């Protein structure tokens, strides 16, 4: 992708260069690479725009083309100022909104990063994060519609029929084509009766009694179990720090709200008429009651 400067509307860089004009500065310590009617374009500005363009897919960074874009954009900026656009009320409002947004975002970021967890707080957060399940299982299963069918599967296994072959031939589960292979999983990803049964098994064994769930009757073979090693503290530290800062920031804003003089003048919604106590309950409510 090459940018052409003979038509500012057509140039693909115009959005970036309009942003870059805010970076123009009369800093004597900065090298000036071009001057447009007395306004300097600095090497820093050129470098910044080149860096942004370089990050765009398929972009070819050409210094002269980008500088031409900066020059054209500066000319357009000067003409826009001559036209008195900044005096228009709608433009003033947009400038105010943009300024407020920049100030708010900067304050929020700086305030949040001012909350720094202690080593003990980080350690506690890490322990809470990694104190969950520390074992994973690798298993296969054969799913049948009835207990009698599942009992028949167990008898075939007792007669040394291969579990995977039996799963492919008989299982009603979606993993049948893979020989009932469920891969590695944590107990929390399985329904409780299934997870409880697996937790009691030894690798290489299969259930001697079918396990019932809402899906049907399972015959399970546990192949392996392994300990799950949590990430190191240093790996999780950036995430834990961000979460800490978010919590502190929310608490800080709650404190500000509690201390502030706030008057809500939004009209309250008209009170809804009370439901007729003699009217029959909706069908879904009855269903919930039965549950």
Q: What is the pLDDT of residues 244-284, one digit of tens each?
A: 999 999 999 999 999 999 999 998 875 455 544 434 443 33
Q: How much of the chain, in percent, has pLDDT values that exceed 90?
A: 68
Query: What digits encode the pLDDT tens for the residues 81-134?
Result: 899 988 899 999 999 999 999 999 999 999 999 999 999 999 999 999 888 888
pLDDT band for 11, please (50, 70, 90 cuts): very low
Which whole-number Å values give the CA distances from 167 to 61, 170, 283, in the listed order?
A: 59, 5, 41
The answer to whether residues 128 and 121 touch, using CB atoms and an 8 Å cutoff, is no
Sign of CA dihedral 221, 223, 226, 228: negative
- Name the E strands within the chain: 32-36, 39-42, 135-144, 181-185, 211-213, 216-227
Angle (CA) 197-199-202 rounded to 5° is: 95
Tokens of 174: 């979606």
For the record, the structure tokens of 248 come out as 């502190």
pLDDT of residue 187: 93
Rounded mean pLDDT, 47-54? 85
Q: Is the per-residue pLDDT at 13 higher than 70?
A: no
For 126-167, write each residue's pLDDT tens digit. 999 888 888 999 999 999 999 999 999 999 999 999 999 999
5-19 mean pLDDT? 41
């Amino acid at each position: 992708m090459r940018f052409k400067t003979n038509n500012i509307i057509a140039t693909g860089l115009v959005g970036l260069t309009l942003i870059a004009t805010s970076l123009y500065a009369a800093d004597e310590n900065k090298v000036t690479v071009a001057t447009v009617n007395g306004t300097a374009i600095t090497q820093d500005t050129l470098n910044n725009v080149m860096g942004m363009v370089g990050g765009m897919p398929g972009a070819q960074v050409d210094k002269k083309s980008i500088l031409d874009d900066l020059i054209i954009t500066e000319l357009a900026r000067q003409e826009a100022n001559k036209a008195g656009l900044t005096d228009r009320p709608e433009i003033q409002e947009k400038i105010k909104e943009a300024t407020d947004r920049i100030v708010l975002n900067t304050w929020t970021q700086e305030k949040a990063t001012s909350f720094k967890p202690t080593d003990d707080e980080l350690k506690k957060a890490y322990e809470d994060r990694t104190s969950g399940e520390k074992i994973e299982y690798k298993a296969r299963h054969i799913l049948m519609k009835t207990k009698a069918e599942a009992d028949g599967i167990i008898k075939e296994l007792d007669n040394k029929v291969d579990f995977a072959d039996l799963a492919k031939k008989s299982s009603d589960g979606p993993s049948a084509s893979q020989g009932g292979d469920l891969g590695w999983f944590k107990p929390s990803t399985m329904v409780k009766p299934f997870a409880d049964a697996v937790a009691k098994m030894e690798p290489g064994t299969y259930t001697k009694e079918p396990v019932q769930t809402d899906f049907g009757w399972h015959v399970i073979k546990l192949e392996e179990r392994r300990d799950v090693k949590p990430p190191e503290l240093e790996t999780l530290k950036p995430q834990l720090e961000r979460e800490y800062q978010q919590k502190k920031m929310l608490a800080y804003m709650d404190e500000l709200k509690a201390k502030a003089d706030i008057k809500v003048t939004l009209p309250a919604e008209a009170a809804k008429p009370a439901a007729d106590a003699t009217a029959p309950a909706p069908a879904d409510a009855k269903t919930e009651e039965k549950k």
